[in-house]
Amino acid sequence: MLAFLAPTPTPTRAAAILRQIFGGLPASFAFRLWDGQEVRVGPEAPVCTAVIKSPQIFLDLIRDPSPYNFAEAYVQSRLDLEGDLFQAMDVANAVEAVRVTPLQKLKILLSLWRR
């Protein structure tokens, strides 16, 4: 693919997208972005934190925010998980309910080019 056409998300835009996609879930967890910014979602204190190591990992996960893709990124050491891994499984179960329509994906992709 033409790398120069790929969007490069800013941490601020990535945080907004994460809140948009995961903010309605009943599970409480957090993301830590590549710049150290923490993004909390859910009604309570987070039980675990997914550490997104780079903008590219963020883009890969947002394309298909499924527990499988998060697990694959974790196994490949592209994503770290901090906190109680057993409670992280409850979070993974909640994440299974996330559905991002093609139109939402397009809007998210287009929003990554905004500054």
Report the predicted TM-score, pTM, of the whole model to 2 decimal places. 0.86
Query: Is 69 part of any domain?
Result: yes
Give the phi and the psi of residue 94 in degrees, each rounded to 5: -70, -35
Q: Above 90 in pLDDT, residue 33? A: yes
pLDDT at res. 34: 96
pLDDT at res. 66: 83
CATH number, domain containing residue 106: 3.30.1050
Per-residue pLDDT of 89-99, as tens digits, reads 888 888 888 88
Q: What angle do CA 28, 48, 29 make, to 5 degrees?
A: 25
Q: Give me the number of domains the chain comprises.
A: 1
Instruction: Domain of residue 81: give its range.
Output: 8-111
